[in-house]
Amino acid sequence: MTRIGVYVCHCGLNIAGTVDVEKVTEYAKSLPNVAIAKHYKYMCSDPGQRMIQDDIKAHKLDRVVIATCSPRMHEETFRKAVAEAGLNPYLVEIVNLREHVSWPHAHEPEKATEKAKALVRMGVARVKLLEPLRRRKVSVSKDVLIVGGGIAGIQASLDLANAGFKVFLVEKSPSIGGRMAQLDKTFPTLDCSACILTPKMVDVVKHPNVTLLTNSEVIDVKGFVGNYEVSVLKRPRYVVEDKCVGCELCTKVCPVKVPDKFNEKLGQTRAISIYSSHAVPKVAIVDPDHCLRLKLKDAKKEVCGKCLQACEARAIDFEQQPETVQLKVGAIVLAVGSEVFDALEMPEYGYGRFPNVISNIEFERISDASGPTGGKIVSPRTDKQPKNIAFVQCVGSRDKRFHEYCCRVGCMVSLKQAILAREKMGEDVNIYICYNDLRSFGKGYEEFYRRARDLDVNFVAGIPSDVRMAADGSLYFDVFERGTNKLLEMHADMVVLANGLVPSADIARINELFHASRSSDGFLLEAHPKLRPLECSTAGIFLAGACQGPKDIPDTVAQASGAAAKAVDMLSSGEIELEPLKAVVDEDLCSGCRVCESICPFLAIEMKQEGEKLRAEVIEAVCQGCGLCGAACPTHAIKIQQYGSNQVLAQVDAALAEAQVKGGSRS
Amino acid sequence: MSLVDSMSMAKPNLESRKKILAKLRGRELINCFQCMKCTSGCTALKLLELKPHEIEKLVNLGLVDELASSDIIWTCATCLKCVERCPQKASPYHVIIALRNLAVEREAKVPEELMKGISRILEIGLAWSFQDVVTRKMETFDRESLRLPKIDSPKESFQAAFMKALEER
Amino acid sequence: MSVREVLPRLSVELVDLREALCCGDPVRSVNDFAASYLGARVLALANLTGLKNLLVPCNRCHFVISEAKALIEKGEKAQTKIVGLLKEEGLEYNPDVKVWHVIDFLHDLVGLKSVEKAVVKSLKGLKLATHYGCQILRYTDLGRVDDAENPRKLDELINAVGAETVDYAEKLDCCGSHLTYGHVDSALSLAGQKLRAVQALGVDGLVVSCPDCGMMFDAKQKDAATTVGAKLNLPVLYYTQLLGLALDIPQDMLGLQLNHSPVEQLLSKVSA
C-alpha cells in the first residue's frame, strides 16, 4: 500500500500570500494514499527538509509530494534530502504552487487555492506511478576545449592548465589576445593593456598543458558531456610555425598592400605579415585573398614569391593544406567574445561618410603607441590633430531600433579615452562627452569619472539627433543640454562614437554547433542569470567573457576563472552522474520504424540490428529527455522515464476528477 | 501619483494621461528616458521653442491640462524626426497630436484655419476651396482651363459619416 | 499635371477618383480618428475602381493613408468603427489596395530601366539637389517610401534622366509647410534656410516630391527670401516635371507655367 507524504510550502508569503496553504493541506489529507500532509514556511530550509526526512522514517513513507516553487529551483535539493532518508530520490514529485499558481493568479486568491488543490491532486495521482531510478556513472575525459583566445579564454586556459588539466585553446584569428590586445590602456587603472596581457599570453603558449591552435575553428561537435568529440579546422598560414622566427623580412619585401584588420583597417599591412605587434604566436601568415601567388595558383607561371626569397628560415610553404584535428574533451568553455557595433547602421551620425567621425575602437588604435599613428591623437583618416573632440554615447545601445541593452562599458571607455586625450594633448584640446546616463558602477569607476571631470572633460547631458559635416570636413551638431536647458550648437574636429558591444558574428554558428542557447539580446544564455551564470543549460558547456553578455575586463577574468573552476568541479573525479530522466525503449513494442531516430534533435537514438529486427536504442548520455520521440512513436514503445502515458494520463484524470463531482467530500 | 507643480500648483490628471496613453497605438510614452535626442533634432525648437522631451515628461507625470490649453503644442512641424530617432519608440509627435485633439475637445486654443478646414471638408469634401492660379507671368488659370477633371461634391452619407467620425473621442 | 502627362508614357494608366476626397491630413490635429477614417476612405474609394494600386503624389497624403492602413490592419478597436462608417457610404475597405507614392512607384514598380529607356532628351549637364520631404521617409516602422537616413530613390530617378545630384548636410531637413497654419513666419524661415543652403551648392535647381514642400520652396520662395534676408533665385520643380522635360513633353503641359520659382534658368540649360 503506497504511503504518500504531502508537504505544502508557504515560501514565505510568495505562495501563502495568495494560496490558502492550510486549506490545501487539509484537502491533501483527504486524497487517497496520503498518509500525512503538512505545511511549513520554507520547505527548502534545514528544518523543512528534516521534517520530511523524519516523516519518511517515522511514517514509513514511500512517496513524497512537495507543493512549492518551481522544480528548477529546488528539485535537486529535495531529491538529495529524501535520498539521505533512504528513499529513492526519483520518488519525489514537485508541484509548482508559485510560478504556476500564486504568482500568475495573485489577484484571485480563492480560484488560486482551488487550482492549488487540483495541482496537488494531480501530483498525488502521478507520484503513485513513479518508479525508482538510479543515476548511471560515466567516465569522462579530463581534457578541456576552450573556444576563443581572448582574455577570457586565456585566463580559463591558465587556470585549468595550472590545475593539471590538458587544455586545447582554439582561436580563429592568427594570434590570441582578442579585443584586449587592441586596447591602449584599460580602465580604471589606466594600466597598459598589452603590458598586463602579454605575460599571460606568453604563459599560455609556453604552458606544457596547453595546446594552442590559432587560425583555427571548431567545425563539428559530437558526443556528450564528459565525452565530446570535436573537430577543429586548422586553416593554413602558408608558414611553418616551428620554423618562422618572426623577423618580418617577408613583410618588408611583399608588394601587396592589405587593409590592416588588427588596426581596424586604419592602416595597411602586407599580404604576408605578423598579425599584430604583440602577436602570440609570433609567426607570419599569408592572406590567401590578397597574396598574388595564392590567388593565381592555377596560372602557368608562378608569380611573385619575393617572400620565399627573403625568408632565411625557409619557413614559407605555399603548398600548406588545411588540417582537421580531432579532439576528445570532457568539457568545453565558450569564450568567443563580442564585436563592436557597426555605426554604418546609424547613418545619421555620419560614420562612413564623414572622415572625421570615428568609432571608439578606432580611437583605441590611434591612441596605442603601436598603432597606425604611433600613439598620436589625430583623426586617422585625415591625419589632422583635433582641437575639439566630441564623444557621443550609446550608439547602437539602449536603442529599440538596434540593441535594447546597455553595453555596460561604453561610458567607461569614453571616460578613459577622454582622459587619455587630455593627458596626451594637454590643454590644446577641448573634450566633450554627450551622454544620456553616465554609468560608472564598478570598483574605482566613480572615482575615474571624477578624475575625468578634474581633468576638465566637459559633460553635455543630452544626445544629438544627428551629426553634420561642414565644407572643411569639421563636424557640427545641435544638442539640447539638460542642465542648462539650452540648445547648444557644437563644433568638433573629431567625433568619437561610443559604439556598443554586440554578439559576435559567429554567434549563430556557435549556437548551433554547441547547442548553446541564446538570450533575446543575442548573447549566449546562461543556465540561470543569478545562480548559474557560468554555464549553459547544455551540460558540460561553460561560458566565459563577453560572449555571455557585454562586460569589462575585471568581470571577464572573474567569469573565466569561475568557468574554469566549474569545469574542474565537473571533471576532477574522472566520472559524472547522468540524470536518468531519459528516453527508454520497450524492445517488445518497437517496430523499428525509425521515426524516433529521425525526429531526435540530439541524434541520441541509434538503430541496432537484432537478428531480423531493427530496434531503437537510446544513447543515454546524449539524450536530453525532451520527449519528442515519445510523442512521435506510433507503438508507444519509447517513453521518457516518469513521463509515460500512464503517468501523464493519471494526472489528466486527476485534473478532471473534481469536474464530475459536485459537492463531493471536500474540506 | 502625489506631486504638485510648485509653480502653477497643477496636479496630475491621471484620467487624461490614461486616455492619451490609450491613443498612442504602441508608441511608448512611459519608456521615455529623457535622452534629449528628439529635442536636439526638433525642427521647431530654434524658432518656436518646442521641446518634445519636455512634453513627453509632462504628460508622463500627468501634467496634461496646462499643455492642452497651451500654445506650444501647436508649434510642432510634424517632421517626424523625433519618431524616427527615438531609441525608446516614445514618439513625441503622436503625443502632441493626442494633446491637440484634447485641446479641440476642450475648445481650448485651436488655430482658426484648422477649424475652417473642417467646415470646408464637410461642404466640398476638400480642406481648401478651388482657387484660381496666378502664374509668375501674371496669367490666371482655373481647373477647367488646365483641363483637370471635375470633382464631384460629397454625398450626404459622407457628411453624416464624417460628422460621426468627428464625434469619436 | 506633370504626373498625368508623364505616367501614361511609361505605360501606366491613371484612373481618377472622381469623388471629393480629403486624405485627412488637416483633420489630424483636430481628431486623429476622423483623419484615419478619411485616409481609409480614400483607399475604399480606390477599391471601388477594382484596381489594386493607389498612386498618391503628395507626401502628407501618403503618410495619413499609410497610418490609416496600419491602424486598420493591426486589428484595433478603431478598425470596426471605421469599417462601419465606410459602410454607411456604401464603401468597403480592401487590404489588397496598396498605397504608392510617385517616387517609389516609379523607382520600384515601373523601374529605373524603363524610365531610362523612355528618355528622349537626356538632361546631362544638369546638377540638381533633392528634397524628399519628411513624411515619405519617416517613420521607418510604418514602412515608408525610402530609407529614412540615406534615401536614394529620387536621386536615382534623377540620375536616370541623365542629371547629376548632390548631397548636402540639410538634405533631410523639413520645409516647414505644416507651420503655415499658425506660424507663417517660422514656416517661411525654415523654407528660406533650406533654400539658402541649397542655393549655396551652386546647383541648377531643387527637385521636390511633394506639392506642400513645392508650395514652400516654389510659390513662397520670395516670401521665404524676405523672411531670412537672402537673395533666392532657385528653380524648383516637382520630379515628374523634370522627367517630363526628359521625355520632351511641352512645358505648358507639364504645368511649368504655374511654377513661381525662376524655372527659366533651368529650362534654358535644358534646351541648350
Assess if residue A183 is contained within a domain: yes
Residue A514 confidence (pLDDT):
94
Q: Which residues of B touch C59 (CB under 8 A)?
A: none
Residue A430 confidence (pLDDT):
97
Average pLDDT over residues C159-166: 96
Contact A480 B88 (CB under 8 A): no
Assess if residue A318 is contained within a domain: no
A207-233: string of b/e by CB count within 10 Å (b at 16+)?
A: bebbbbbbbbbbeebebbbbbbebebb
Residue C33 confidence (pLDDT):
93
Residue A323 confidence (pLDDT):
97
Q: Which residues of C touch B43 (CB under 8 A)?
A: 173-174, 176, 190
Res. A76: pLDDT tops 70: yes
Assess if residue A577 is contained within a domain: no
Question: How is domain C2-100 classified at the architecture level of CATH?
Answer: Up-down Bundle (1.20)
Residue C138 confidence (pLDDT):
96
Q: Is residue B27 less than 8 Å (CB to CB) from chain A?
A: no
Assess if residue A441 is contained within a domain: yes
- pLDDT category of residue A661 using cuts at 50, 70 and 90: low
Q: Which residues of B touch C189 (CB under 8 A)?
A: 47
Q: Give domain limits for chain C.
A: 2-100, 112-271
**Cell numbers at residue B24, please?**
498612442
Residue C247 confidence (pLDDT):
95
Give the Cα separation of A74 and A51 in Å (integer).
16
How close is the nearest chain B Cα to the Cα of C162, in Å?
28
| Average per-residue pLDDT for chain C | 94
Give the Cα separation of A293 and A283 in Å (integer).
19
Q: Which of C140, C149, C169 sits opposite A469 (nearest CB)?
A: C169
Amino acid at C5: E
Q: How far apart are the first and last CA of chain C?
A: 25
Assess if residue A578 is contained within a domain: no
Contact B87 A399 (CB under 8 A): yes
Assess if residue A243 is contained within a domain: no
CATH number at residue A47: 3.40.50
- Do A199 and A152 fall into the same domain? yes
**Which chain B residue's Cα is nearest to C221?**
B136
Q: Which of B47, B151, B168 sits opposite C186 (nearest CB)?
A: B47
Q: Is residue B34 less than 8 Å (CB to CB) from chain A?
A: yes
Give the per-residue SS3 of A548-608: HCCCCHHHHHHHHHHHHHHHHHHHCCCEEEECCCCEEECCCCCCCCCHHHHHCCCCCEEEE
Testing the interface with C: which of B27, B84, B93 to mutate, by most C Cβ within 10 A? B84
Virtual torsion, Cα C135, C139, C142, C148, nearest 10 deg: 90
Residue C272 confidence (pLDDT):
59
Residue A317 confidence (pLDDT):
95
Contact A400 B36 (CB under 8 A): no
Q: Is residue A465 less than 8 Å (CB to CB) from chain C?
A: no
Res. A660: pLDDT tops 60: no
Res. C240: pLDDT tops 50: yes
How close is the nearest chain B Cα to the Cα of C249, in Å?
16
Q: Does residue A75 contact residue A94 with C-beta atoms inside 8 Å? A: yes
Assess if residue A106 is contained within a domain: yes
Residue A667 confidence (pLDDT):
41
User: Mean pLDDT lowest for which of A19-33, A78-92, B125-139?
Assistant: B125-139
Q: Report H helices in A59-150.
A: 71-84, 109-127
Q: Give domain limits for chain B.
A: 14-105, 112-167
Contact C149 A346 (CB under 8 A): yes
| Residue listed under C-alpha cell 503513485 | A128
- Do A356 and A453 fall into the same domain? yes
CATH number at residue A389: 3.50.50.60
pLDDT by residue (tens digit) across A9-40? 999 999 999 999 999 999 999 999 999 999 99
Q: How far apart are the first and last CA of chain A?
A: 24
* Portion of chain A with pLDDT greater than 70, in percent: 99
Q: Which residues of A touch C142 (CB under 8 A)?
A: none
pLDDT by residue (tens digit) across A92-141? 999 999 999 999 999 999 999 999 999 999 999 999 999 999 998 989 99
Reduced to 3 states (helix: H, G, I; strand: E, B; else coil), residue C116 is helix
* Portion of chain B with pLDDT greater than 70, in percent: 99
- Evaluate whether ipTM surpasses 0.85: yes
| Average per-residue pLDDT for chain B | 91
pLDDT by residue (tens digit) across C3-25? 999 999 999 999 988 786 889 99
Res. C136: pLDDT tops 60: yes
Average pLDDT over residues A229-246: 96
pLDDT by residue (tens digit) across A580-629? 999 999 988 999 999 999 888 878 898 998 888 899 999 887 788 889 99
Average pLDDT over residues C37-48: 94
Testing the interface with C: which of A468, A469, A476 to mutate, by most C Cβ within 10 A? A468
Question: In sequence order, which residues have a C-beta less than 8 Å from that of residue C95 and are 6 or more positions away?
Answer: C69, C72, C73
Q: Which residues of A touch C172 (CB under 8 A)?
A: 466
Burial of residue A584, with CB atoms counted within 10 A of its CB: 0-12 exposed, 13-18 middle, 19 or more buried: middle
Query: H or E segment at A333?
Result: strand A331-334
Contact C150 A347 (CB under 8 A): yes
Range(s) of the domain holding residue A460: 341-502
Average pLDDT over residues A266-285: 94
* Integer angstrom CA distances of residue A178 from A197, A248, A470, A559: 10, 21, 37, 16
Res. A662: pLDDT tops 80: no
How close is the nearest chain A Cα to the Cα of C159, in Å?
20
Q: Does residue A564 contact residue A159 with C-beta atoms inside 8 Å? A: yes
Give the Cα separation of A593 and A523 in Å (integer).
39
Q: Is residue A482 less than 8 Å (CB to CB) from chain B?
A: yes
Chain B neighbours, 3+ Cβ pairs < 8 A: A, C
- Do A164 and A198 fall into the same domain? yes
Query: H or E segment at A38?
Result: strand A34-40
Q: Which of B40, B81, B87 sits opposite A480 (nearest CB)?
A: B40
Give the Cα separation of C209 and C152 in Å (integer).
13
Burial of residue A298, with CB atoms counted within 10 A of its CB: 0-12 exposed, 13-18 middle, 19 or more buried: exposed
Residue A72 confidence (pLDDT):
83
**Which chain B residue's Cα is nearest to C68?**
B25
Reduced to 3 states (helix: H, G, I; strand: E, B; else coil), residue C33 is helix
Q: Which of C140, C150, C169 sits opposite A468 (nearest CB)?
A: C169
How close is the nearest chain C Cα to the Cα of B2, in Å?
31
What does chain A come to in residues? 667
Give the Cα separation of C139 and C135 in Å (integer).
8
Residue C20 confidence (pLDDT):
65
Assess if residue A327 is contained within a domain: yes
CATH number at residue A625: 3.30.70.20
Amino acid at A146: I
How many domains are there within chain A?
5
pLDDT by residue (tens digit) across C60-108? 999 999 999 999 988 778 889 999 999 998 999 999 999 999 999 999 9
| Average per-residue pLDDT for chain A | 94
Average pLDDT over residues C166-192: 95
User: Mean pLDDT lowest for which of A278-292, A299-313, A328-342?
Assistant: A299-313
- Do A346 and A451 fall into the same domain? yes
Topology (CATH level 3) of domain C112-271: Rossmann fold (3.40.50)
- Do A12 and A45 fall into the same domain? yes
pLDDT by residue (tens digit) across A422-479? 999 999 999 999 999 999 999 999 999 999 999 999 999 999 999 999 999 999 999 9
User: Mean pLDDT lowest for which of A295-304, A361-370, C120-129, C231-240?
Assistant: A295-304
Contact B158 C89 (CB under 8 A): yes
- Do A9 and A98 fall into the same domain? yes
Res. B1: pLDDT tops 70: no
- Do A65 and A78 fall into the same domain? yes
Q: Is residue A423 less than 8 Å (CB to CB) from chain B?
A: no
Res. A320: pLDDT tops 80: yes
- pLDDT category of residue A277 using cuts at 50, 70 and 90: confident
- pLDDT category of residue C182 using cuts at 50, 70 and 90: confident
Reduced to 3 states (helix: H, G, I; strand: E, B; else coil), residue B56 is helix
- Do A546 and A467 fall into the same domain? no
pLDDT by residue (tens digit) across C196-220? 999 999 999 999 999 999 999 999 9
